Amino acid sequence: MRTRDAAARRISVIKPALARRLEWLAALAISAATAPAQARIPTASHASSAQVQLDGNFIQGGWMRGNAAADVVSVTVGDEALTLDDSGHFFAAFDRDAAAQVQLTLTYDDGRSHLQTLSIAARKWQIEHVNVAKRSGGASEAWWKKREPEWNAILGARAKQTNADGWRQSFIWPVKGRISGRFGSQRIYRGEPGSYHSGLDIAPGAGEPFVAPANGVVVLAVQGFSLEGNLLILDHGNGLNSAFLHAQSLAVSEGDAVMQGQLLGRVGSSGRATGPHLHWSLKWRDARLDPLLFLPDAE
C-alpha cells in the first residue's frame, strides 16, 4: 500500500446577499416548460499518457476517471488536489462553465512533476432570450428564517464524505421518462442572465419508482423543504454526490448504504414544482455536472 500525505480540504461558505441567494435556490426548482428534443451530447476524446490513464467525458459538465502510475504520490487538476485510492485511481469533473483547458499535474515520490494539459470541449447550451426585465428577487426575513436551516442542511450534506464507491461505476438511469428540463439551460432577461438549470428533469408520471444510479450513502433524507419538497442526497464517494428533488415519498433514510438499482423513492411534485417529475442534480465538490453525461443512451 502506498502512503500519501492527506491534505485537509477547507470548506468555506460565505453568506451571500439575500436576493442572490434566492436566485441560486430558485435554480433548484423544476421548470414546467418542456425542453425540445436534442441529439446525444457529443463527448471529447479521451486523454492518456505513459504516466496516467484517463477516461471520461472531457466536456463542460463532464467528468473523468484516472489511474496513475505506482510512483505517483499526488495528482491535481487545476488547483484541486485529487484523492488517490490505494491503487492510484482518482476522479474529477468539470463545471458547467469550465475553461477550455485545465492542467493535470502529477507529482512523483522522487519529487519530479509531470504536467499535462487537458482540453475541455465547450457546450452549446439551451439559451432563451426574453424581452422582459429580470425580477429583482428579495424575500422577507421571516421567510429566510425558515429557509436558512434547510439551506445549511443541504450545504452540510453536500460536504459530507463517505467511503461509498459509486464514483467508480458506470451510472444507470434512476428512472426513464420524458426529459422536461435539461442541465445548463438558461434565460437571458434583456441581456441580464438568470440562473441556469442545475439538473436534469425526468417526468415519468406521479408515483413512478426511482432508483440509485450508483452505489452510495444517504447523507440527507428530508420531507417538506420549502423549494425541494421531499429531498434525498446520495453521496457516491470521492466528492461526487446526487440530489433528488420533489419526491412523492422516500424509501431510504439518512445513513443508509444503498446499492445501484435500489429503490430510493417515488416521483412526485412536492415543494416548488408545477407537476410530477424527478429533478436530479450531480455535484463534484463545487462543480455542477450534467447527469446525461454519466448515462448510457436512452432507449
Q: Is residue 9 part of a domain?
A: no
Average pLDDT across the chain, whole number: 83
Top pLDDT among 8 and 272 is at 272
Is 11 a member of any domain? no
Q: Which residues of 103-134 are buried (b: 16+ CB within 10 A; e: fewer)?
A: ebbbbbeeeeebebebebbebebbeeeeeeee
Q: What angle do CA 164, 167, 169 make, to 5 degrees?
A: 105
As a dihedral over the C-alpha atoms of residue 142, residue 145, residue 146, residue 149, rounded to 10 degrees, the angle is: 170
**Domain-embedded: residue 262:** yes
Both 105 and 251 in a single domain?
Answer: no
Asked if the structure places residue 186 within a domain, the reply is yes
pLDDT in the model for residue 184: 78
Is residue 10 domain-resident?
no
| 231, β-bridge pairs | 222
Residue 189's pLDDT is what? 67
Q: 119, 145, 166: which is the final residue of a domain?
A: 119
- What total number of domains does the chain contain? 2
Residue 11 — very low, low, confident or very high, per pLDDT cuts 50/70/90?
A: very low
CA–CA separation, 212 and 240 (whole Å): 14
Structural domain that includes position 67? 52-119
Q: Count how many residues are written for the chain.
A: 299
Residues 57 and 77 in one domain: yes
| Predicted confidence (pLDDT) at residue 155 exceeds the cutoff of 70 | yes
Say yes or no: 101 and 88 in one domain.
yes
In a domain, 12, yes or no: no
Q: What is the CATH number of the domain that holds 69?
A: 2.60.40
Lowest mean pLDDT among 6-15, 89-98, 281-290: 6-15
Say if residue 99 is in the same domain as residue 56: yes
Return d(Cα 51, Cα 112) in angstroms, integer. Answer: 12
Q: What is the pLDDT of residues 230-245, one digit of tens each?
A: 999 999 999 999 999 9
Q: How high is the pLDDT of residue 297?
A: 73
For residue 4, being part of any structural domain is answered with no
Instruction: Compute, in degrees rounded to 10, the torsion defined by CA atoms 6, 12, 13, 17.
Output: -150
Return the C-alpha cell found at 125.
Answer: 447550451
Nearest to 231 by CA among 28, 1, 26: 28
148 plus 254 within the same structural domain? yes
| Pick from 28-32, 65-69, 232-236: least confident | 28-32
Whether pLDDT at 90 is above 90:
yes
Looking at residue 48, what is its pLDDT? Answer: 62
Which band of pLDDT confidence, cut at 50, 70 and 90, is reported for residue 10?
Answer: very low
Q: Are residues 263 and 183 in the same domain?
A: yes
| 286 part of a folded domain | yes
Q: Is the pLDDT of residue 23 over 60?
A: no
Residue 187 identity: R
Which of 6-10, 126-130, 281-285 is predicted least confidently?
A: 6-10
Residues 185 and 72 in one domain: no
Same domain, 63 and 162: no
C-alpha to C-alpha distances, 260 to 118, 215, 237, 293, nearest whole angstrom:
30, 5, 13, 17
Quote the cell numbers at residue 203. 417526468
Q: What angle do CA 181, 186, 190 make, to 5 degrees?
A: 140
Nine cell digits for residue 161: 464524505
Amino acid at 185: S
The CA distance from 196 to 193, in Å, is 8
Domain end, chosen from 119, 147, 171, is at: 119
**Final residue before a domain boundary, out of 119, 135, 167:** 119
Alpha-carbon distance of 116 to 106, in angstroms, equals 8
- The CATH number that applies at residue 208 is 2.70.70.10
* 34: Cα within 13 Å, side-chain hemisphere: 7
How large a percentage of the chain has pLDDT more than 90?
Answer: 67
pLDDT tier, 103 (very low <50, low <70, confident <90, very high otherwise): very high
Q: How many CB atoms lie within 10 A of CB 14?
A: 4
pLDDT digits (tens, 9 = 90+) for 137-153: 556 788 889 899 999 99
Q: What is the per-residue pLDDT across 120-137, written as a single tens digit (0 to 9) for each?
A: 999 987 777 766 777 665
